[in-house]
Amino acid sequence: MELDLCHSCGPGIGDEMLSALLTSGELELEKLGMAINNITSAVGTLLADFLATNPMLKELDLGYNNLNDSDATLIANALRTNSTLRYLVLDGNRFTDDGVGGESLRRVMCDESSLNSASDSNHICNQHNYNLHARAQINRGWKVYRLLSFRNQTLSNVQHFGDIDVKLLPNMLEAVQRYHNAAKEHQSGPRDWGVEPLSIVYEVMRKWDKAFPIKN
């Protein structure tokens, strides 16, 4: 079931309408359009709490409303646990890509502070050009391999691996190839998967002994 209420509510009415829908307890929508309805921070917390419950909603359009950085951050936090929403539009609100709200959304979609955080990001929701593939594992592979490729430019992958047992080296090298395959399947532009896997493998093999010397 879908409901399109875009550009249908005046000031104050958009907040009331969205609030009523989210608190009805009977919302069985898969698609909800609420763009251009003067929706404000008055429903920011309510909206985030709703998304965090993993409702059946798969598509949500809140474009060109009056949500701010705080609202975007709340929504981003909700997306850390939401595994059902597949498409989210927030363009044209009162936060920018370079601001706190935009950064919060970007980090939940692809947190590149570590390989683990990249792997633990939201790989389901298509938002701000992330998660373009229908399969979450392909989106995850693309993000991890992109980070490996970026670090390969400065030959810094090994120093980020932490205290990894050298016995796990074959598993790690196999994972490089697996993530590369996923990144190629994800491809949204010419060679957007980064460097070839052999470059990363060569970097790791060359530096492994220095980073993790084998103890006698």
Which of 92-96, 140-144, 165-169 is least confident? 165-169
Q: How confident is the model at residue 47 (pLDDT cuts 50, 70, 90)?
A: very high
Higher pLDDT, 8 or 83: 83
Higher pLDDT, 198 or 69: 69
pLDDT mean over 35-45: 95
Q: What is the pLDDT of residue 192?
A: 56
Phi (first) and psi of residue 207, to 5 degrees: -105, -10
Q: How confident is the model at residue 164 (pLDDT cuts 50, 70, 90)?
A: low
Q: What is the pLDDT of residue 190?
A: 46
Please give the Cα distance from 93 to 60 (Å, whole number).
14
Q: What is the pLDDT of residue 9?
A: 82
pLDDT mean over 140-164: 83
pTM over 0.75: yes
Q: What is the pLDDT of residue 26?
A: 66
**What letter would DSSP give residue 126?**
B
Please give the Cα distance from 73 to 80 (Å, whole number).
11
- DSSP, residue by residue, 131-200: --SSSHHHHHHHHHHHHHHHHHTTT-TGGGS-S--GGGHHHHHHHHHHHHHHHHHH--STTTT-S-HHHH
CA atoms 165, 156, 120, 87: torsion sign: negative
Sheet holding 31-33, edge to edge: 2-4, 31-33, 59-61, 87-89
Q: What is the pLDDT of residue 208?
A: 64
CB 156 within 8 A of CB 114: no
Helix (H, G, I), strand (E, B) or coil at 48: helix
